[in-house]
Amino acid sequence: NAGVTQTPKFQVLKTGQSMTLQCAQDMNHNSMYWYRQDPGMGLRLIYYSASEGTTDKGEVPNGYNVSRLNKREFSLRLESAAPSQTSVYFCASTKSGTARAEAFFGQGTRLTVV
């Protein structure tokens, strides 16, 4: 009964390095999201995928790219990491076609860029 699984849980990057955060859900949800959490800012939407094959920008997309690999998996890529991207990243999913659907979150990836 995994729900939403994120890897890795922790990562330290040097400025300019690249990396991909992985997310997979086993609830047959069609919609998936990437948020970042910063102190006092709550969670802010980076990108989302309403359904397989589609992706759209959220509130803070600059410096990130996403790939909806299949229905289960939604990855977030940092091409050239910057210290401002130090944050905790959460992946979430919701049931497709249902307005006001409950969002299920992964346990997060704590990323530090030095």
Ranges within 28-87 binding another protein (CB under 8 A): 31, 33, 35, 40-45, 48, 50, 56, 58-59
Q: Does residue number 92 form part of the binding site for another protein (CB under 8 A)?
A: yes
Neighbours of 64 (CB within 10 A): 19
Asked if residue 87 lies in contact with residue 37, where contact means CB atoms within 8 angstroms, the answer is yes
Location of structure tokens 């690249």: 18
* SS3 category, 38: strand
Q: How many residues make contact with another protein (CB under 8 A)?
A: 29
* CB of 58 vs another protein, minimal distance in Å: 7
Q: Does residue number 107 form part of the binding site for another protein (CB under 8 A)?
A: yes
Q: How far is it, in rounded angstroms, from Cα 48 to Cα 61?
A: 10
Q: Which of 1, 14, 53, 99 binds another protein (CB under 8 A)?
A: 99
Q: Does residue number 22 form part of the binding site for another protein (CB under 8 A)?
A: no
Which positions ≥6 away from 39 have C-beta within 8 Å?
Answer: none
User: Which residues of this chain interact with another protein, rule CB under 8 A?
Assistant: 4, 31, 33, 35, 40-45, 48, 50, 56, 58-59, 90, 92, 94, 98-108
